[in-house]
Amino acid sequence: MWPHTLLSWPKRSISYIDAMIPMPITKFFRKHRAWLVPLLILVVAFSARLVYLNQIQEMPTFNYPVMDEKYHVKLAEQINSDEGLPAEPYYRAPLYPYVFAFLHKISGESLYVPRFVQILFGTMIALLVYLFGLRLFTPRVACWAGGVAALYPTLIYYDASLLITSLMVLLTMLLLFQLYRAQARPCLSNFVLAGILIGVAGLARPNILLLGPVLIVWIWLVIKPHIGWKKALVRYLVMGLFAFLVVLPVTIRNYVVADDPVFIAWQGGFNFFLGNNRMASGWSATVAGIDMTWEGGYEEAIAIAEQAEQRKLKRSEVSDFWYDRAFEEINQDRAGFASLMFRKLRLFFNGFEIGNNQDLYFNRNYSPLLSRLMFNWGVMFPYGLIAPLALLGVAFSIRRWRDYLLVYLVIGSYVMSLLLFFVCARFRQPVMPLLILLAVFGGIHLFGLFRSRQKKNLILALFIFALLLVETNHDMLGLDPKHSDATSHVNMGLAYLEENRLSQAYNEFKKSSKLDPTYGSAFANLGTVTSRQGKLAEATDHLTRALGLEPNVPARYMNLANNFFDRTDTTSAILVMEDGARQFPNNPTIMLRLALAYLDAGRLDQSRAIVVAVLRTYPENETARAMFTQIENLSK
380-381 and 375-376 as β-strands: parallel, antiparallel, unpaired? antiparallel
Q: How confident is the model at residue 10 (pLDDT cuts 50, 70, 90)?
A: very low
Residue 196's Cβ-side half-sphere holds a number of Cα atoms within 13 Å equal to 9
Answer yes or no: is pLDDT of 6 > 60.
Answer: no
pLDDT > 80? residue 454: yes
Length of the chain: 636
Per-residue model confidence (pLDDT) at position 3: 37
What pLDDT, on the 0 to 100 scale, is given for residue 289?
66
Burial class (CB in 10 A: 0-12, 13-18, 19+), 406: buried
Which region among 94-108, 237-251, 352-366 has the lowest average model confidence (pLDDT)? 352-366
Instruction: Give the whole-number percent of the chain exceeding pLDDT 70.
Output: 93
152-200 confidence digits (pLDDT tens):
999 999 999 999 999 999 999 999 999 999 999 999 999 999 999 999 9
* Distance between CA atoms of residues 55 and 119, nearest Å: 14
Say what the pLDDT of residue 291 is.
64
Q: How far apart are CA 270 and CA 525, in angstroms?
A: 28
Residue 11, pLDDT score? 40
CB within 8 A of 431, min separation 6: which ones? Answer: 172, 410, 411, 414, 415
Count of CB atoms situated within 10 Å of the CB of 253: 15
Helix (H) or strand (E) segment spanning residue 375: strand 375-376
- Per residue in 410-449, pLDDT (tens digit) is 999 999 999 999 899 999 999 999 999 999 999 999 999 9
Q: Supply the pTM of this predicted model.
A: 0.89
pLDDT of 409 reads 97
Contact by Cβ (8 Å): 154, 354: no
Q: What is the DSSP string of 249-264?
A: HHHHHHHHHHS---SS
Q: Is 50 exceeded by the pLDDT of residue 407?
A: yes
Structural fold of domain 496-635:
1.25.40
Residue 519 has pLDDT above 90, yes or no: yes
Contact yes or no for 223/186 (Cβ under 8 A): yes
In three state form, how does the secondary structure of 87-136 look? CCCCCCCCHHHHHHHHHHHHCCCCCHHHHHHHHHHHHHHHHHHHHHHHHH
pLDDT in tens, 223-278: 999 999 999 999 999 999 999 999 999 999 999 999 999 999 999 999 999 999 98
Domain boundaries, the chain: 268-346, 347-472, 496-635
CA pair distance 82, 73, nearest whole angstrom? 16
Tens of pLDDT, residues 262-271: 999 999 999 9
Give yes or no for a contact between 251 and 259, defined as CB atoms under 8 angstroms apart: no
C-beta contacts of 302-305 below 8 A and 24+ residues apart: 303/586, 303/587, 303/588, 303/617, 303/618, 304/586
What pLDDT does 296 receive?
Answer: 64
pLDDT recorded at residue 536: 93
d(CA 104, CA 116): 12
Give the separation between CA 497 and CA 522, rounded to whole angstroms: 13
Q: Round to whole Å and give the CA distance between 71 and 415.
A: 26
pLDDT value of position 30: 63
No. of H helices and E strands in the chain? 31, 2
- Report pLDDT for 29: 53
